[in-house]
Amino acid sequence: MTEKLYEKDGSVFAFDATVLACQPTGTGFAVTLDRTAFFPGGGGQACDVGSLGGADVVDVSLDGDRVIHFTTAPLSVGSRVTGEVDRSIRFPRMQCHTAEHIVSGLIHARYGYDNVGFHLGPDEVTMDFNGELTGEQLDEIEDLANGVVFSDVPVTVSFPSPEELPTLSYRSKLDLTENVRLVNIEGVDVCACCAPHVAKTGEIGLIRLLGFIRYKGGIRIRLVAGERALADYRARCREAQAASELLSVPQEKIADGVTRALAASDALAQSNAALRKRVAELLAGGLLQTDGNRVLFLSGGEDHPDVARQLANLAVKSTGGIVAVLYGESERGFRYLLASERVDLRVALPEINRALSGRGGGKPGMAEGTFACARDEIERFFAD
Ligand SMILES: [Zn+2]
């Protein structure tokens, strides 16, 4: 059996131990020690990584009562080694995990809802509850949770006996009766959990509920705490700074600035639409009556699908044959709009597409698509 230092004290990151066994695994080595601070994972928290006697510890798991360390190099059985848990990974997890207990404890005490899901991801925590709460209620919970942080109350663990257990009141996801480890946040919450936690709530620094969604008859809350809350706040401030500079408004007026920018963009879109209509009318107004076909290429400011469509609709009235409006020129060819009042384009289109490497379709009076050919080929075809 391995003495599990992480069970009693989450603040132990460096320790000395004796190597009891070391076996090759194919990809590395499986090492057992007489004692360890490496948490093998559980309770929603992933296992620790770090170093052991100069080797990297890349994974840790529990085999009965023994903690197995998966290392990148062998260690001599019987030797004394120094282990070091990567604090930069473990500590933020403990901050988030203890924050989760505080929030879950407060929600349970106030509303009677259970935490039915917990995921401690690399950036944020999600927690599921079997009842619904409003944004205002969650604001209150967030205030209360941070009050617990500011009060800096102790977080302790205990291992009650099977006889003692039924007399205690605590939250638990499982119906365990032996080897139950209780994490007690003084005056706030008692919960069965196997993971290491911070020693005092002040170590959490800040608890921020980022948002929530309705989920399986309850809610799913997103939470950040501690170092991750700082990183999140910093990232949001940078975004806000960038947006405020782009919009030339103070950071606290970004929403006003975006509203104004969207209104200006809407007004521009409307005036552009009006101008395109006018362009189409002016182009159509200059056309003489013809009994044959008519080919119109759009370029520069005229080159727009709206102008093409409106021009085709107007020009068809002064054209006996087919109006072909070509626009959107690229290295592949042109986009086309064909219109006619006398020629049934559903009948004529297959031949047109065949002759001009075209693709497209439409109705008897209007068709659209692309021609993968040169300008003079299109001009020659419709001149015949
Ligand atoms: Zn827990």
Q: How far is the CA of 172 from the centre of ligand 1 (A)?
A: 9
| Judgement on whether residues 113 and 226 belong to the same structural domain of the protein | yes
Q: How far is the CA of 1 from the centre of ligand 1 (A)?
A: 23
Q: How far is the CA of 191 from the centre of ligand 1 (A)?
A: 7
| Judgement on whether residues 77 and 95 belong to the same structural domain of the protein | no
Establish if 43 belongs to a structural domain.
yes
Question: What's the pTM?
Answer: 0.81
Nearest-angstrom CA–CA distance, 192 and 112? 17
Q: How far is the CA of 99 from the centre of ligand 1 (A)?
A: 10
| Judgement on whether residues 152 and 72 belong to the same structural domain of the protein | no
Q: How far is the CA of 124 from the centre of ligand 1 (A)?
A: 15
Q: How far is the CA of 35 from the centre of ligand 1 (A)?
A: 22
Helix (H, G, I), strand (E, B) or coil at 74: coil
Locus of tokens 């693709």: 359
Q: How far is the CA of 163 from the centre of ligand 1 (A)?
A: 23
Where the chain has pLDDT below 70, the residues are none
Q: Give the residue from 38, 65, 85 where a domain finishes.
A: 85
Establish if 245 belongs to a structural domain.
no
| Judgement on whether residues 54 and 183 belong to the same structural domain of the protein | no
pLDDT at 176: 75
Establish if 38 belongs to a structural domain.
yes
CATH number of the CATH domain containing 38: 2.40.30.130
Per-residue CA distances from 12 to 149, 187, 275, 297, 380 (Å) = 21, 25, 72, 77, 85
CATH number of the CATH domain containing 186: 3.30.980.10
Q: How far is the CA of 290 from the centre of ligand 1 (A)?
A: 83
Q: Give the residue from 234, 260, 287 where a domain finishes.
A: 234
Establish if 193 belongs to a structural domain.
yes
Q: How far is the CA of 71 from the centre of ligand 1 (A)?
A: 27
Q: Give the residue from 67, 85, 103 where a domain finishes.
A: 85
pLDDT at 178: 78
CATH number of the CATH domain containing 311: 3.10.310.40
Establish if 269 belongs to a structural domain.
no
| Judgement on whether residues 226 and 110 belong to the same structural domain of the protein | yes
Q: How far is the CA of 14 from the centre of ligand 1 (A)?
A: 23
Exposed, middle or buried, 238 (CB in 10 Å: 0-12/13-18/19+)?
exposed
Establish if 265 belongs to a structural domain.
no
Establish if 220 belongs to a structural domain.
yes
| Judgement on whether residues 53 and 148 belong to the same structural domain of the protein | no
| Judgement on whether residues 58 and 187 belong to the same structural domain of the protein | no
pLDDT at 359: 97
User: Tell me: the pLDDT tens digits for 325-345?
Assistant: 999 999 999 999 999 999 999
Residue 78: domain span: 3-85
Q: How far is the CA of 145 from the centre of ligand 1 (A)?
A: 16
Q: How far is the CA of 198 from the centre of ligand 1 (A)?
A: 12
Q: How far is the CA of 43 from the centre of ligand 1 (A)?
A: 5
What percent helix, strand, coil does the chain show, rounded to 5? 40, 30, 30
| Judgement on whether residues 99 and 120 belong to the same structural domain of the protein | yes
Nearest-angstrom CA–CA distance, 155 and 229? 20
| Judgement on whether residues 139 and 171 belong to the same structural domain of the protein | yes
- 3-class secondary structure for 297-331? ECCHHHCCHHHHHHHHHHHHHHECCCEEEEEEEEC
Q: How far is the CA of 84 from the centre of ligand 1 (A)?
A: 23
Q: How far is the CA of 196 from the centre of ligand 1 (A)?
A: 8
Q: How far is the CA of 194 from the centre of ligand 1 (A)?
A: 7
| Judgement on whether residues 80 and 103 belong to the same structural domain of the protein | no
| Judgement on whether residues 67 and 128 belong to the same structural domain of the protein | no
| Judgement on whether residues 117 and 62 belong to the same structural domain of the protein | no
Run of H or E residues at 181: none
Q: How far is the CA of 56 from the centre of ligand 1 (A)?
A: 27
* Residue pair 220/117 in contact by the 8 Å Cβ criterion: yes
- Total domains in the chain come to 3
Establish if 287 belongs to a structural domain.
yes
